[in-house]
Amino acid sequence: MKILRFSRNIIRWLVALLWVVVAVFPLWYTFSVVFSPPGVPVTQQFLPSSFSAGIEKITAVLTQTNLNILKASGVTLLYATLQVAGMIFVTSLAAYEFALFDFPGKNFLFILALSSLMMPIVVTLIPLFQVSIQLKWLNTLQGLAVPGMASALALFIFRQFMESLPRELIDAGEIDGASHFGIYRLIIMPLSANAVLTVTVWAFVNAWANYIWPLVILTKPEMFTVSLVAAAQVGQRSWTTVDFAMATYLISAIPPILLYVFLQRYIIQGFSTTGLKG
């Protein structure tokens, strides 16, 4: 009986730790391939063995002139910032109304917004491309950023949060003579810092990962996002090109990993809300 319980306990730990290995292995392996001397057989690349080789590869990637990852990171960072800023403004304003007030058509409008979550993105892709052409937004930051701003999920995250705020805050604001927008700006938003941070990191991780929309509206290599630059390296087979590709992947994984390491709580909060809509 005791042995049975003991061995069951071991299996429990082994399985749980095995999945940890599965989850982190691909990135760990990328890291150790980059930090190994060129030409080491794949089966011996589980551990990084040469710091200088890694630095050399990363320098080669960073100084690459054609499709530079650093430049792409700049473009992606700018567009993501623009998108997140716009998203926070429009969705928090709308959520303020949905969470704290009553007006005719409220439920209809909210369900209309949320229904967009059920739709495959590809359905709107072709018309969005046409709209972007008409606005002359191909190869621009606004073309990358603006179409994704009216995010139903960000609206949902804000509404969930604001619904938990006491309504007395609004009465107090009105007594103090604050305007309708003033209450939003001076009372509700300062209290919603948690939701702002949640939406920010969640939306940033998504913007960094976006592949199909940049693929559609970017044709000029100097505007390429990280996703397009990294994707251009896929499928390399020779040693030097594999090393180069792996170093590119490693660099493009850094921003989301850093966000995860430092703001894990908010990322998990954001993603769990995205699953619990409905």
Partner 1 sequence: MTFPARFFHRYLKHYVLLLPFFILFAIFYLYPLVYSIVISLMKWDGIHAPIFVDIQNYIRIVNHPRFSVSMLNLGRFVLIVVPVGITIALALALLVDTFTPRWEKFFRGMYFFPVIIPMFLSAAIFRYLLSPKVGLIPVGLEALGITGINWLSNPTYMVPAVALVDMWRAIGFNFLLLFAGLKAIPREYFEAARVDGANRWQEIRHIAIPQLEPVLFLVIVNGFIGALQAFDIPWLLSLSTFVNYGGTRNGMLFPVMEIYMAAWGRQDFGGASAFAVILLAITLVITVVQFAWRKYRLAD
**Closer by beta carbon to partner 1, 78 or else 257:** 257
Closest CA to 141 of 70, 202, 91, 214: 214
Ranges assigned E (strand) in 5-117: none
CB of 203 to partner 1, least distance (A): 13
**Closer by beta carbon to partner 1, 56 or else 129:** 129
Tokens of 69: 């990852």
CB of 4 to partner 1, least distance (A): 13
Contacting residues for 243 by C-beta, under 8 A, at least 6 apart: 33, 34, 38, 57
Contacting residues for 236 by C-beta, under 8 A, at least 6 apart: 242, 244, 245
**Closer by beta carbon to partner 1, 78 or else 119:** 119
Q: Are 154 and 87 in contact (CB under 8 A)?
A: yes
**Closer by beta carbon to partner 1, 161 or else 184:** 184
CB of 177 to partner 1, least distance (A): 15
CB of 59 to partner 1, least distance (A): 21
CB of 131 to partner 1, least distance (A): 7
Rounded to 5°, angle at Cα 270 from 268 and 272? 65
Q: Are 45 and 33 in contact (CB under 8 A)?
A: yes
**Closer by beta carbon to partner 1, 75 or else 146:** 146
